[in-house]
Amino acid sequence: MDAEQSLDTIPHGDPFALFGTWFAEAREAEPSDGNAMALATATPSAIPSVRMVLLKGHGPEGFTFYTNSHSRKGEEILANPNAALLFHWKSLRRQVRIEGALVPVDAATADAYFASRARESQLGAVASDQSAPLDARGTFVQRYEEAEAHYADRAVERPPHWLGFRVIPDVIEFWCDRPFRLHERRRFVRDGDGWASTLLYP
């Protein structure tokens, strides 16, 4: 989509095609991590938290990321499997908001993605007790070196607690910056097997 094309002209039925176009443009335009997104989760008592993660897959099946399920976000996901995502592409003056339920990806998919990561990242995942208290950085470095020695002559195995999750969207909202705060918003809401959408006042 051209940066100046109005959301008023976007087809009503396919938010994933629009997201795919915007995401491809963001990967070209953003100086780093065009796939970065804010992930908001909450405890069962609705206490929220938010952090940046990286999108690793997207399409009609949902929006996929990976994490240590022993981390704070992992524990919140397992206890309250609902989330919100926010992409903010400042260079393009665009945002996308996504809300929906979370489901784990299957083990084969998680294994395949873990195997595609840099070996150093694999070792880091093995060595880190993400979100747990750490007495000194040296402890983490030592654990990394121990993992490196343990797997010196073989492939690094995916830790069983290192999981993938997919946000199955119920709502996808697109936002474009316009001069004088006359911004544009279009909100897509799941409607049976399809999607309904409407423009929103900014």
83 and 167 Cβ atoms separated by less than 8 Å: yes
| 181 assigned to active site | yes
Amino acid, single-letter form, for residue 62: G
Cα–Cα distance for residue pair 3/173, rounded to 1 Å: 17
Burial of 161 (0-12, 13-18, 19+ CB in 10 A): middle
Closest by CA position to 167, among listed 41, 71, 75 = 41
Closest by CA position to 178, among listed 6, 41, 2 = 6
Spell out the alpha helix ranges (H) of the chain.
Answer: 15-29, 72-79, 107-116, 119-127, 137-150
> What are the backbone dihedrals phi and psi of residue 27, each rounded to the nearest 5 degrees, phi first?
-65, -25
12 and 196 Cβ atoms separated by less than 8 Å: yes
Dihedral Cα 134, 138, 73, 175, nearest 10 deg? 130
Q: 181, 186, 187, 190: which one is catalytic?
A: 181
Give catalytic residues, as residue numbers. 181
